Amino acid sequence: MTDNPFLIPSPLPYQLPPFAEIRAEHYRPALEAGMAEQLAEVARITGDPGPASFENTVVALERTGELLRRVLTVFDNHASSYTEPQVQALDAEFKPRLAAHSDAIHLDRALFARIDAVHAGRAGLSLDAESLRLLERHHTRFVRAGAQLPEADQQRLRELNGELAAAAATFEQNLFTANAEGALVLESAEQLAGLPEAEIAAAAENGQARGHAGKYVLSLLNFTNQPALARLTDRAVRRRLLDAALDRALATNGPVAARMAALRAERAALFGYPSHAAYVVADETAGSVEAVTAMLERLVPPAVANAERELASLRAAAAADGVTDFGPHDLAFYSERVRKAEYDLDSAELRPYFELERVLLDGVFHAAGLVYGLTFTERADLVGFHPDTRVFEVFEADGSPLGLFLADFFARPSKRGGAWMDELVKQSHLFGRRPVVFNNLNITKPAPGQPALLSSDEVVTLFHEFGHALHGLFSDVRYPLLAGTEVPRDFVEFPSQVNEMWASWPEVRANFARHHGTGEPLPTELVARLEAAAQFGQGLKTVEYLAAALLDWAWHTRPVDPVADSGTAVDAAAFEAEVLSRVGLDLPEVPPRYRTAYFSHLFVGDYSAGYYAYIWSEVLDADTVEWFRGNGRPIRQSGELFRRELLARGNSVPALDAFRAVVGREPELAPLLARRGLGG
């Protein structure tokens, strides 16, 4: 262990992990040492002979686990971003062990007794607002983790948590395998007709990398409608690609998901909740199952009505081509065809103006300067976790350092699908640490010498994920538990969705939307067509999203079933069909954005009973965008207010209090309905 780089805080700037020194064999001993060290630190807290106080109990607890934190942030990123067999095996082994470690702390009766005593006497402690918030959050976390349960229930809780952690690891590895095996292998470039030359070249490179030299491979991205479906002219290829996306991991992950849903329901029942969703939402801004259900049900009828109108025009366009059996594999293709016909707008026409480097530097970073005064310097002397990773130092308007931003943009076979943000170093005044955050995306890597040209959706994703990064970078709190994105799940997407607005802000778009070859700006008439088409397809997109959100909600509002308590009696495909029919979203041409077997938000990540958060947060987002546009302040002044009162506060104040501090009132639904064309 003497040469293990995790043993001491990193000597690099901002405590950036020393990736150049870290090897896979360092993880096991560091994880084991980290867990042992934290348990010893907790034992010192509970062994303190003095009365429990805020400092010797709550703050002391905040100080525990530093070694474990250092290794876990790197290990979790490695397991997601650069998967290899040794790391997969460790992940499967340590997920249950880490769950047991968490239980050992949160179910420690002596530790909870001290926290409970401090909490009971909080009125007489004269704590500042952030310290009081920390105390309340720790107390709530321990209660929700089972600290007050009887011994027998705690023992069952440990078993459930261990089984769920193991199942999550299994689900993740099954999906990784299914994505790899489901990649579409094509024999000739002719089968890719309709794709730009650069994407055909990238498919050839992908084939080479995956051991299919001379062939063309389209990898599966971690959602249903694959981007290539909008342009592939060969219907048979489109059908094969969509079928591969829809059917992946169903046989392996369907039973795993059903089992996990049953285990979660049983766990919720231990706490006295009728369902896992009720347990989850009790600690979110939504507050109740009824509130979430009412919102989702309110959105379904107008979304379906819009989708049906949009589908009619797509079917008509397909019929003009002689297609009488319009199916889901035709949806994206004819959406693109109709959009081009109605708005004279072709997504392929836009891509040359959205080159990755320019979008990043002259778009995302430029907007951060415009709104918040930030500047960025690439640090070639600092290395990330993969050769594709780039490291940027972030500076305040006055030139003082703020933190580090890492970006890993390109897809590869070893990276899980999707896009996400995380923190390698969490901001904390208690530890004197500045933030180190990263974004992971899955943009198709271009062939050597070719530019990375983005779709308009990928441009928005880049801005979205950087919104999460800003939330972490701007954190200005004392305690790590309250820092940055440590907010309710149905609030955490709000700042990132707000940041999407800058992708279409005229001053920002004019700065980045330039032809990669000529440097010419996006033509004014093309901008006008792009804006005119902004609501095109919103009905279909909303239906896709709501179908996924209501599948999540259906899985997790189920009570414990004494007949099918193993979970394996529930057939995932049949369950999906029944749910979508019941809620009125069984449009055969419009599959959900995610099906159960590849819905990793729910069964690997922490969004179980929480996928509704995206549209719940979008209510706040749409309202805030209108505030930015109409509050009468300069953009820089509005940005400072948004940063100071919301982004910087993390979870040091209740989430909706932070929203009200910015906008000055309760959130309103009307801006979201208008944005999505859903009426009043």
Cβ proximity of 417 and 219 under 8 Å: no
How many Å apart are CA 89 and CA 86, to the nearest integer?
Answer: 5
How many Å apart are CA 203 and CA 446, to the nearest integer?
Answer: 9
Residue whose C-alpha is closest to residue 239's, from 337, 336, 331, 315: 331
- The packing angle between helices 151-182 and 235-247, to 10°, is 160
Q: Parallel, antiparallel, or unpaired: how do β-strands 436-443 and 420-425 relate?
A: antiparallel
Residue whose C-alpha is closest to residue 62's, from 651, 423, 480: 480
Give ∠ CA 338-339-343 in degrees, rounded to 5: 120
How many Å apart are CA 135 and CA 228, to the nearest integer?
Answer: 50
* Phi, psi dihedral angles at 404 (to 5 degrees): -120, 145
How many Å apart are CA 409 and CA 195, to the nearest integer?
Answer: 21
Catalytic residue IDs = 465
How many Å apart are CA 237 and CA 334, to the nearest integer?
Answer: 15
Residues 6+ apart with CB under 8 A from 319: 326
Query: Identity (one letter) of the amino acid at 275?
Result: S
Kindly tell me the sign of the dihedral angle through the C-alpha atoms of 436, 437, 440, 446.
negative
Residues 6+ apart with CB under 8 A from 274: 268, 559
**Burial annotation 506-540 (CB, 10 A radius, 16+ → b, else e):** eebbebbbbebeeeebbeeebbebbeebeebbbbb
Q: In the numeric block, which tokens belong to residue 250?
A: 């169903």
How many Å apart are CA 411 and CA 422, to the nearest integer?
Answer: 17
Query: Identity (one letter) of the amino acid at 591?
Result: P
Cβ proximity of 573 and 581 under 8 Å: no
